[in-house]
Chain A
Amino acid sequence: MPREQYQERLGELRQRVLEMAELVVERLRTALGTFESRDEEAARSVIDGDEEINERYLDLEADCVQLLALQQPVAGDLRFITASFKIITDLERIGDLATNLAEYATETDRTYSDVDVREIGALTAEMLEDAIDAYAGEVADATFEIARRDDEIDAYCQQAGEVVIRDLIDGEIGDSSDEEIRALLDDVSRTLLTIRDLERVGDHAVNIAARTLYMVENDDELIY
């Protein structure tokens, strides 16, 4: 096949994006696990590991720029590189969100019976894995299903947020000390941020699915 070196570089890019995706999923899963285990060492490994994800992102960004500049890709190759270029940004941001989640998980003392952070986390992580599988296998059909599931997660998160706010409104803090009130507010903030960040992981999973659909079918329906 002509342009063998170029084809090899495209293959390497795909492989390295998938390796980065695998690492990001692993970090997200670890962060989500700390909501149950409250394992500070595991949380610390996620936070400290973000640098590695950032480096991989920058390396892959440079690879994409170089391929665009030197190889002038077109058609399917162009869509693959531009989709990958966007997808690594989503992965990098999910890495950031995983570090946030690891922090919240180990710092929050309060729980809400009607807010199952682990359940929301499991759904978003599953969505992310499915989006990555769609990219890896170039499966267009799966991308619409992933986008649909994000609507469910959004509704789930909105409901969870309302539970937290309502609990705050209804709660009695009459005799609480300033320190207790501050601790309560910190917990409420962290819980709301946890819900928001999980919802954002879902958004990034949809972005990955949308770019995959564009890559495979030249269809930008999910991008808009």
Chain B
Amino acid sequence: MNMSTQETDGSPISTDVRTTENARADRPDETVVATRGLDVYYNDDQALDDIDIEIPENKVTALIGPSGCGKSTFLRCINRMNDQIDAAHVEGEVVFKGKNVYDDDVDPVALRRKIGQVFQKPNPFPKSIRDNVTYGLEVQGKDTSDEDVERALRGAALWDEVKDQLDESGLDLSGGQQQRLCIARAIAPDPEVILMDEPTSALDPVAASKIEDLIDELVEEYTVIIVTHNMQQAARISDKTAVFLTGGELVEFDDTAAIFENPSDSRVEDYITGKFG
């Protein structure tokens, strides 16, 4: 069974698991969010332990790790959603574009317009599709236009599917469409960063793949930080991956291809290959 006449194997190995465009990967990293010595406690329980990280602009950063490792807690620190949890206590700094978001003069509501969030379960308001999109702008006291609605819905890859039913309830959409509506709502105020906490875990594979495609487009304009339990999803869509392990420790943060091909830390190797977790 002679299958080739070429005996010397000069082909480069092809195990690059990243599917995002190489042009994006080659962009130099400009930090948009950085944490320094970040500790978070829920009462006396430490959820995050001395996290230092620099998250690059206009890239997708995935946060992975076993349940209870603090990755969602970390996400909520970035736009101060932890403020709403009485037991939570934050120490250290979260720096967004040079400013510590925990400084006294930072308005959390204004911060969340710049750092939007999409949750695990689609949570459109019981309002029309149009009102769901304009809600964030109206809260800011801004006038809204049809152009604003179209821009946000196009940005969320939903416009073509809903343009003729903008006054119908957002709750009548499918789960995947509802999640994209939530993304439209998040991008309507023109944020810089979008936080996503397991945004596809409640969706079927087709709807999930649409969200993944959308993330690939969103990152041209925004920085995306996504918590996911699906390691293959992290490998597919992210440029950088941060691995948190039990105890709230950030064990490794590197290019996604490096994490999934040759992690430096043996605990990360054990976790991503399923030897524990």
Write out the residue numbers on chain B whose beta carbons fall within 8 Å of the beta carbon of A82: 13, 15
Task: Decide: A75 near B272, CB < 8 A? Known: A50-B1, A54-B1, A218-B261.
Answer: yes
Q: How far does the Cβ of B264 sit from chain A's closest Cβ, in whole Å?
A: 10
Across the two chains, which residue of chain A brings its CB closest to B1?
A54
Instruction: Collect the chain B residues with CB atoms within 8 Å of residue A206's CB.
Output: 8
What is the bound-complex CA distance between A203 and B276, given in angstroms? Answer: 39
A2-B274, A74-B231, A75-B272 known; A224 vs B2 contact (CB < 8 Å)? no
Residue numbers in B under 8 Å from A214 (CB-CB): 13
Complex interface residues of chain B between 60 and 110 (CB less than 8 A to chain A): none
Whether B273 contacts A74 by the Cβ 8 Å rule is yes
The CA of A218 and the CA of B1, in the complex, are separated in Å by: 30
Complex CA–CA separation, A204 to B6 (angstroms): 10
The answer to whether B2 and A75 have CB atoms under 8 Å apart is no
Could you say which of B1, B235, B259 has the most chain A C-beta atoms within 10 Å of its C-beta? Answer: B1
Contact for A224 among B12, B263, B268, B277, CB less than 8 A: B12
- Measured CB to CB, the closest approach of chain A to B76, in angstroms, equals 28
B2 touches A96 (CB 8 A): yes
Query: What sequence of 0s and 1s flags, for each residue 251-277 of chain B, a beta carbon within 8 Å of any chain A beta carbon?
Result: 000000001111100001100111111
Q: Is B203 an interface residue (CB 8 A)?
A: no
- Tell me which residues across on chain A come within 8 A of B268, comparing CB atoms: 75
Instruction: Tell yes or no: B208 within 8 A of A by CB.
Output: no
Distance from A13 Cβ to chain B, minimum over Cβ atoms (Å): 14
Interface residues of B, count at CB 8 A? 29
In whole Å, how far is A9's beta carbon from the nearest beta carbon of chain B?
A: 12
Chain B 1-24: CB-based contact to A (< 8 A → 1; otherwise 0) = 111100111111101010000000
Q: Does B232 contact A (CB under 8 A)?
A: yes
Check B260–A207 contact: CB distance below 8 A: no
Interface size class of A (residues with CB under 8 A): 20 to 34
Interchain CB contact (< 8 A) of B8 among A1, A89, A96, A207: A207
Which residue of A is nearest B235, CB measured? A74
Q: A74-B235, A204-B7 are in contact. Are A2 and B276 (CB under 8 A)?
A: yes
Measured in the bound complex, the distance between the Cα atoms of B13 and A89 in whole Å is 14
B272 CB contact (under 8 Å) in A74, A86, A90? A74
1/0 contact trace for A86-114 toward B, CB 8 Å? Answer: 10011011001000000000000000000
**Majority DSSP secondary structure for residues of B touching A:** loop
Kindly state whether residue A220 has any CB partner on chain B within 8 Å. Answer: yes
Taken residue by residue from 182 to 196, chain A's Cβ proximity to chain B (1 for < 8 Å, 0 otherwise) reads as: 000000000000000
Given A74-B260, A79-B261: A220 in contact with B12 (beta carbons within 8 A) = yes
Answer yes or no: A77 CB below 8 A from chain B CBs: yes
B262 touches A79 (CB 8 A): yes
The one of A79, A92, A93, A207 that contacts B15, using a Cβ cutoff of 8 Å? A79
Q: Which residue from A75, A204, A223 sits with its C-beta under 8 Å from B269?
A: A75
B120 CB to nearest chain A CB (Å): 22
B232 near A210 (CB under 8 angstroms)?
A: no
Least CB separation from A97: chain B residue = B7
Evaluate whether A74 and B8 lie within 8 angstroms (CB atoms) in the complex, with A1-B275, A3-B275, A218-B262 already known: no
Is A76 a contact partner of B269 (Cβ separation < 8 A)?
yes
- Residues A78 and B261 in contact, CB atoms below 8 Å apart: yes
The 3 A-B residue pairs with the shortest CB-CB distance, nearest first, are: A218-B262, A3-B274, A207-B9
Q: Which residues of A contact B (CB under 8 A)?
A: 1-3, 6-7, 50, 54, 57, 72-79, 82, 86, 89-90, 92-93, 96, 200, 203-204, 206-207, 210, 214, 218, 220, 223-224
| Known pairs A90-B9, A203-B7 / 19 extra A-B pairs, C-beta < 8 Å | A1-B275, A1-B276, A2-B275, A73-B273, A74-B17, A74-B260, A75-B268, A79-B15, A93-B2, A93-B7, A96-B1, A96-B2, A207-B8, A210-B9, A223-B10, A223-B11, A223-B12, A223-B13, A224-B10
A-B contact pairs, 12 of them (CB 8 A): A2-B277, A3-B273, A7-B275, A50-B1, A57-B1, A72-B232, A73-B273, A74-B272, A86-B9, A223-B11, A223-B13, A224-B12
